Amino acid sequence: MRRISLRQLIYLVELKRCGGFGRAAQALAISQPTLSHQIAQLEATLGVTLVERGARLLRLTAEGELVAGRASRILGLLDETIDLLDSRDERKELRIGIPSYMSYPAVTELLASFRETAKDVQLFLIEMTAEQMSDKLNQGEIDAGFLSLPTPDRLLDEMQSLPIWEAPYLICLPKRHPFAAKPVLHPEDLEQLDIVLAPREYHRAHYDHQLEALCALGIVPRIVHADVATTQSQMALTAAGVGACLLSEGANPILSELVLKKTEPALCSHRLALFWPPANRNSVLERFVAKARLRSPQS
């Protein structure tokens, strides 16, 4: 694929449109031998014949028609992308991905603060899983997104990031649970608890991070397999006595009938960061990142 140039695709599409090498070369402002050579190189790369030589009128082979059609669609999509990038500043839009499995007051406060100083910006919040958000960031379909760490493996390494919030994990229990009266919970206590985690497919790396933190205490955690997508649902199951869950202070307001308990040794930290593609040219994104830097723990 790396040997196929965008120029060759443009030449093939123009050749089909003009119906001849001479007219296509003139339209492209190149020599006819140059055009012929580039088409021959494209044929050699693909291993197929694209043009029937010797015919008085230009005729593309079936393979030529297929490649020219697909090339035309590729070039059209590229034109649309360039137009989108060029006009984004004018529209003053910002598309932000937010987690579908957890709400964060830190995110809500940042968005509210930005909205107060950017009333001219149309803000779109798109709720999705971490796996979906990684794909949207990779493809440039959203300007930025909030992801808990560690991030999904599919997220491109070149993404820029900024820490937004961090707090240690705690164990969430019903107030009526016998362990709720303890000042701290120890590994032998956690071994007796059923632990409710969000399904792994919502954020594989984060699920594994939580599971490894429990195993690091030297226990084999008893995981409740419940298809619940949000921490609110996990808390509801905890309140119903199904099991305990992992929460952090400042991540979600907890239900009145629940309590958060520290562990000894302490569990790992729950971390959240803002991610955005380095090639994004949206000036509104620059304003948003600048606002986020003022609220970052690193500032």
Do strands 93-99 and 122-128 pair parallel, antiparallel, or not at all (unpaired)? Answer: parallel
Rounded to a whole number, what is the distance in angstroms from the first to the last CA of the chain? 44
Tell me how far apart the alpha carbons of residues 10 and 72 are, in angstroms, rounded to a whole number.
8
Per residue in 3-48, pLDDT tens? 788 889 999 999 988 888 888 888 888 888 999 999 999 999 999 9
- Does an H or E element contain 200, and which? none
Residue 87, pLDDT score: 56
Burial 260-286 (b: 16+ CB within 10 A, else e): ebebeeebeebbbbbbbbeebebebbe
Residue 213, pLDDT score: 92
Site of tokens 């029937």: 52
Boundary (domain end) residue, out of 88, 120, 138: 88
Mean pLDDT over each residue of the chain, to the nearest integer: 88
Query: Is 138 domain-assigned?
Result: yes
pLDDT band at 274 (very low <50, low <70, confident <90, very high): very high
Segment 87-105 shows an average pLDDT of: 75
CB 143 within 8 A of CB 129: no
Site of tokens 């609110």: 232
One domain, residues 214 and 176:
yes
- The CATH number of the domain where 277 resides is what? 3.40.190.10
One domain, residues 112 and 246:
no
Tell me how far apart the alpha carbons of residues 117 and 123 are, in angstroms, rounded to a whole number.
12
Tell me how far apart the alpha carbons of residues 74 and 223 are, in angstroms, rounded to a whole number.
47
Q: Which residue in 226, 222, 218, 207 sits closest to 169, CA to CA?
A: 207
Residue 29, pLDDT score: 84
Token digits of residue 206: 């984060």
Residue 138, pLDDT score: 93
One domain, residues 118 and 191:
no
pLDDT at 179 over 60: yes
One domain, residues 144 and 60:
no
Residue 220, pLDDT score: 92
Which are the contacts of 40, defined by CB distance < 8 A and separation ≥ 6?
A: none
Segment 275-293 shows an average pLDDT of: 90
Residue 88, pLDDT score: 54
Boundary (domain end) residue, out of 30, 64, 88: 88
Query: Is 196 domain-assigned?
Result: yes
Per residue in 201-258, pLDDT tens? 878 888 899 999 999 999 999 998 778 777 888 899 999 999 999 988 877 788 899 9
Segment 72-87 shows an average pLDDT of: 77
One domain, residues 184 and 253:
yes
Residue 200, pLDDT score: 83
One domain, residues 49 and 97:
no
HEC sequence for 90-131: HHCEEEEEEECCCCCHHHHHHHHHHHHHCCCCEEEEEEECHH
pLDDT at 105 over 80: yes
Residue 246, pLDDT score: 92
Residue 201, pLDDT score: 80
The DSSP bridge partners found for residue 125 are 96
One domain, residues 181 and 261:
yes
Query: Is 1 domain-assigned?
Result: no
Residue 203, pLDDT score: 80
Query: Is 161 domain-assigned?
Result: yes
- The CATH number of the domain where 27 resides is what? 1.10.10.10
One domain, residues 79 and 112:
no
Residue 283, pLDDT score: 85
Query: Is 253 domain-assigned?
Result: yes
Instruction: Please spell the DSSP secondary structure of 173-184, one letter per residue.
Output: EETTSGGGGSSE
**Share of the chain residues as helix, strand and coil, in percent rounded to the nearest 5:** 45, 20, 35
Q: Which residue has the higher pLDDT, 102 or 189?
A: 189
One domain, residues 96 and 83:
no
Residue 254, pLDDT score: 84
Query: Is 200 domain-assigned?
Result: yes
Boundary (domain end) residue, out of 67, 88, 109: 88
Residue 260, pLDDT score: 95
Site of tokens 């690091």: 216
Token digits of residue 142: 């959203």
One domain, residues 282 and 261:
no
Query: Is 248 domain-assigned?
Result: yes
One domain, residues 106 and 70:
no
pLDDT band at 129 (very low <50, low <70, confident <90, very high): confident
Query: Is 239 domain-assigned?
Result: yes
Angle at 95 between CA 297 and CA 272, to 5 degrees: 25
Give the total number of structural domains in the chain. Answer: 3
Q: Which residue in 172, 182, 163 sits closest to 292, CA to CA?
A: 163
Domain carrying residue 25: 6-88
Per residue in 11-22, pLDDT tens? 999 998 888 888
Residue 63, pLDDT score: 93
Residue 86, pLDDT score: 60
Query: Alpha helix locations (H) across 191-267?
Result: 204-215, 231-239
One domain, residues 83 and 153:
no
Site of tokens 């362990």: 179
